[in-house]
Structure 1
Amino acid sequence: MTKTDLFEPVTYNGLTLKNRIALSPLTRARATQDGKAGKLQADYYSQRASAGLLITEATAVVPGGRGGPMLPGLWEDAQIAGWKEVTDAVHAKDGLIFSQLWHAGRLSHSSLSADGKSAPVAPSEYSQPGEIFTETGPQPYEPVHVMTKAEIREMVDAYEAAAIRAKEAGFDGIELHAAHSYLISAFLNDMTNQRDDEYGGSIENRARFLKEILEACLKVWDGKRIMIRLAPLGHAYGTWDTDPETLFTHVVDMMNDLGIGWLDLVEGDTGVTRTPEPFFDVLKLRKRFKGPTILNNLYTREMAIDARERDNGDVIAFGRPFIGNPDLVERLKADAELHEAPLKAYYGGGARGYTDFPTMEEA
């Protein structure tokens, strides 16, 4: 076996990871219609608890924050018990798990809102081309409701309430999804934020929404247990920022000032390319950030070993390979063949294509 510390234990921010491999957040669309997790998710995450750190699928802070049906949430207390079942199962296998808190912003649909008719929200008007999958099938993206300052404050409160529920559910920390043109990302990027108040215009103003969410979550969690997912070069849903290096340098400096513990850094466009145009070396952000950085996007075993040899990042995340390989860590360590899960297994359904993939030993 190639000599590497990828599979060795490491301690960061008071948490001892069994190895330097993380489960990247993966939308699997298997929650109940009212956004509850349960035994199915407990089985899924505990099967993958050999990873050093697990990060859950995107978990909505309000019903209208979902980007599709059958996605989980933490917008009400009734959802705590199901997630507690998940965290207990992971902890029983000596695993660690963070909850990824999320709002899809304009990339949601009125049918997913609390009243079933409220328009998706966004920092500014933006016509999103394409379709979203809903309970009645594909539907065009809808015109957005531009958030008022009062509604922004209410959303910050929703993040804080979800952070409280995540702690009550037994998670080891939380991640804020601030990438891929979802709500926080839409505030950050100048293409999707055309506001002329204190939440738009300058980089400091565009980062204000994220800062206020972080300050709210810091009332609940120690900063060492808070992670942020950033995709500085992401072109998700056809949007980006015109000066990403300056913007995300500011965001990382803000994280340092607030004592945020973890950076989940997506290199390039998720699942597409690691070197989109325009390009800058995002590893500059890792060197600037004072806490551990998780590197993310299209990693192979060889790339992960090389990244650790070069000390490019502290932890390496794998996403899709974990779908068909619950024991991915063991397979990577043994340099064994990986099973490629079929695309039809990715989203929706029950246990089939979710918790029925065999380990090496079972196979």
Structure 2
Amino acid sequence: MSLDALFSPLTMGTLAMPNRVVMAPLTRARASAASVPLPIQGEYYAQRADAGLIISEATAVDPLGMGWYRAPGIWSDEMVTAWKGVTDQVHAAGGRIYCQLWHMGRLVLPDYLGGALPIGPSAIAGEGETMAPPTADYDGGFLPMKPYVVPRAMRQSDINYLVAAYGRAAANAMAAGFDGAEIHGANGYVIDQFLQSKTNQRQDGYGGSVENRVRLLDEVIGAVTAHVDPGRVGLRISPTSERKGMGDANPAALTEAIGALAQRHGLAYIHLIEPVASGFMEKPDYPVIAHLRAMFAGAIIQNGSFDAPTAVAHIEGGKADAISFGRPYIANPDLVTRLREGHPLAPANFDYAYVGDAKGYTDYPPYG
């Protein structure tokens, strides 16, 4: 089977990519305890610079949306300066990197907010549990887990503040030297919480109909594209995912509304999580890619349990223009070469997925 389709150039929006292998965002918890990026993150991304595009780990736009210990933010001047060091290393290695803009909404524990409740579209808790911040006697290793709590339903002032936070973060991403930005509208975080009907029970202009539920996303895209050329802006979505208590009554209609919105704003791409096999996320019974293609003329990146043959099949079949790989990038900094030349992939040590420093992060060697 020829793999040429995966390694052919692609112009996505205004970005020229040498191949169609995208490094998916991977939260690895290597920033400082104050959420400031560290130089080792630049080394990590530079090792993977032969990807057609690197999408950074989820990067919080505001302290209220940060609920992951040692994940990075981009709301302060200190963070901008630190991220500039990271993007400089990627560019020196010949790579391209977008900043994924993130707010966790209801999935933030009060432990990260000085005891205050997190915010969300409605007072409905996420399902499951998440990592709490370390206690005073923490000496490394995995963090304690706590269940999600019922959030405070957002007022209009909260929504206005959130939209402005995305705008500030987008401006900061440009100042930090990123080549573009991806809006994180997937995986059960705040934008996804507004989009899906199970988590959005609002009775105002942001809830009810699908047209109302995409309103926050519309405003966020407007705030981001005020600072970043739409040809360098993407959107990540997972409309069929039910993880963490998500769910929508009509994912196909939601997908069409999102696609129409992205088309109107002229976004470069939509990054669709629609797995070809169940794993981190379930393979959907009713895929929505055809609904997205019907409404959106930009590029589509597909994500979810792909290997080289399935990636090529999706590109050649018109279901994707590029494919993003997440977990394979953990232990394979030279993933593009390994896929192109058919070398075996190294296994990741997940004991160090979210803890540690260089170990399990920058110490995976290239093939041979």
Q: CA RMSD in A?
A: 1.6
The C-alpha deviation readout for 1:325-362, integer Å capped at 9, x for no partner, is 000000000000100102112112101000000001xx
In the alignment, the residues of structure 2 paired with residue 97 and residue 271 of structure 1 have an alpha-carbon distance, to the nearest angstrom, of 26
Question: What SS does structure 1 have at the residue aligned with 2:11?
Answer: strand
1:289 aligned onto 2:287: no
Measure, in 2, the Cα distance between the counterparts of 1:245 and 1:108: 28
Where structure 1 has 5 or more consecutive residues not aligned to the other structure, the ranges are none
Partner Cα separation in structure 2 for residue 273 and residue 167 of structure 1: 31
Identical-pair percentage: 40
AA aligned to 1:63 is: P
The equivalent of 2:102 in structure 1 is: 102
The alignment partner of 1:35 has SS state of coil
**1:200-219 mapped onto 2 (5 Å cutoff):** 200-219=207-226
Q: Distance in 2 between matches of 1:316 and 1:287?
A: 19
Aligned: 1:190 with 2:197? yes
Would the aligned equivalents of 2:3 and 2:340 in 1 still touch at CA under 8 Å? Answer: no
CA contact (8 A) 1:262 1:293 kept: yes
Query: What secondary structure is seen at the aligned counterpart in 1 of 2:7?
Result: coil
Maintained 8 Å contact 2:8/2:19 = yes
Measure, in 2, the Cα distance between the counterparts of 1:283 and 1:345.
38
**Structure 2: tracts of 5 or more residues without a match:** 135-143
- Aligned twin of 2:92: 92
Residue among 276, 290, 296 paired with 2:284? 276
> How many angstroms does 1:4 deviate by?
1.6
Contact 1:132/1:140, CA 8 A, preserved across alignment:
yes
In the TM superposition, residue 273 of structure 1 has moved relative to its aligned partner by 5.2
Structure 1 residue 42: Cα displacement: 0.1
**What amino acid is aligned across from residue 10 of structure 1 in structure 2?**
L
TM-score (norm 2): 0.94
Q: What corresponds to 1:306 in structure 2?
A: 313
Equivalent residues in 2 for 1:1-363, closer than 5 Å: 2-113=2-113, 116-136=114-134, 137-268=144-275, 271-272=279-280, 275-277=283-285, 279-360=286-367, 363=368
Closer, same or farther in 2 for the Cα pair 1:281/1:195, shift >3 Å?
closer
Would you say the 8 A contact 1:81–1:169 is kept in 2? Answer: yes
| TM-score using structure 1 length | 0.95
Give, in angstroms, the shift of residue 271 of structure 1.
3.6
CA contact (8 A) 1:274 1:298 kept: no
Cα 1:133–1:270, aligned 2, differ >3 Å: closer, same or farther? farther
Q: Equivalents in 1 of 2:72, 2:281: separation in Å?
A: 28
Q: Residues 273 and 120 (structure 1 numbering): CA distance in 2 closer, same or farther, change over 3 Å?
A: closer
Q: Is the 8 A contact 1:226 1:261 kept in 2?
A: yes
Kindly state the Cα deviation for residue 110 of structure 1 after the two structures are TM-superposed: 1.7
Q: Which amino acid aligns with 2:124?
A: Y
> Which stretch of the first structure deviates more once superposed, 133-142 or 264-273?
264-273
Match of 2:320, SS state, is coil
1:3 Cα offset (Å): 4.8
